[in-house]
Chain A
Amino acid sequence: MVDDPAGNTELDRLLKDWCAEEAKRPGRATPGLLLVKADLARADQRRATATRVERWAFGLAGGLFLAAVVATGCPSSGSGPALVASGGLDLIVLGGAGWCFSLALRV
C-alpha cells in the first residue's frame, strides 16, 4: 500500500490474492467485438456532429432569409427600398440559397 502507514498489509495481500483469482474468470468481450463497437461509436459521433452543424446552418440561413424578407417588405418605413438598393436583394438570394442547401442536406 503506497502512502498509507496505517494500511493493513495482510489485508492488502489477501485482497491481491483474491483479485488474482477473480481475474481468471472469463468475460464476454473480445478485442474484435470492441474494435467493431468502437468504429460504430465513432460513426455515431460523426453523425451527431454533422447533424449539429447542419442545424446551425439551417437556422442561420433561415434567419438571414427571413430578416432580409422582413426588411425589404417594409417600404412604408423607407428602409426596404434602401436595403434592396444597397445589396439587400443579395442577402435574400444568399439566405434563400443557404436555406435550400440546408434543406438538401437534411434529405
Chain B
Amino acid sequence: MDDQTFSALFEGTRGVLLAYLRRAGGDEALAEDLLQECYIRLLNHPPRILDAVSSAGGELPVGPVRRWLFTTATRLLRDHWRQDRWRSSTRWEHGDEDGDAGTQPVAATPLPDRTLSGHEAVTVGFATLSPRQRSLLWLASVEEFDHMELARLFHLSPGSVRVLLHRARTRMEKALRALGMEGASW
C-alpha cells in the first residue's frame, strides 16, 4: 500500500474508529494506543481487499477497510481487557450484564445533578454499560454489523448476541430515561 492510499484510508476512518475506541474502552490514552496499533497492522498486514487497489488502481474500498479496522480494534480491546483483568476493577463483561436488566441498577456510575444535553446524556448512558456491551451496541447500531458477524467476533452464538444486545439496549434506554431523555420507542 502506498503512502497516498494509506493517508486517504486513514483520513476516511480515523475519526469514527478513535471515537469507538474512546467510548468503548473508556480510556483516552488506551484509545490512542490501540488506534495506532490498528493502522500499523493495516500497513504491515493489509487485508486482501486492498490487493485489487494496489494491482489495478481501483477505487478505495473505504467501507470494507472500515469494517476490518473495527474488527481489529474490537479484538485489541478485548485482549486488553482480558490481560488487564487483575489490575482493573472493570471487566470486559460485567458480572451483572447477563442478568435481568430490568431488575439491575441502571448504573454504578453516579449520575450528575445538573440537566445534561442530549449528547452528554448519551455519553453518560453509554458509560453505564460494560465494555463488551458498549462494543456490541456500537458495532450493531452504528457500524451495522449483523448478528452472525458479531457472534464470530465475540465468540458467542447468534442467540447470545441477540440477548446481550437486547439487554444492552434496555440498560441504555433506562439510563437515558433516568437522565431525562424520552424517546418515542423506548
* A interface, CB within 8 angstroms of B: 1-4, 6-12, 14-16, 18-19, 21-25, 27-29, 31, 33-35, 37-38, 41-42, 45
Contact = CB atoms under 8 A, between A and B. Distances in A.
A14 B122 contact: yes
Contact of A27 (B32, B145, B165, B186): B32
A3 B147 contact: yes
A34 B22 contact: no
Interface of B: 3, 6-7, 10-11, 14-16, 18-20, 22-23, 32, 35-36, 39-40, 43-44, 118-119, 122-123, 126, 137-138, 140-142, 144-148, 162, 165-166, 169, 172-173, 176, 183-186
Given A2-B144, A11-B186, A25 B19 contact: yes
Given A2-B144, A42-B44, 5 more contacts: A2-B146, A4-B162, A4-B165, A14-B122, A38-B43
Given A6-B166, A22-B19, A35-B6, A15 B40 contact: no
22 contacts: A1-B140, A2-B145, A3-B146, A4-B147, A4-B162, A6-B162, A7-B169, A8-B169, A8-B185, A10-B184, A11-B141, A11-B185, A14-B118, A14-B176, A15-B141, A16-B141, A18-B126, A23-B15, A23-B19, A27-B32, A37-B40, A42-B44
A8 B173 contact: yes
A9 B142 CA distance: 11
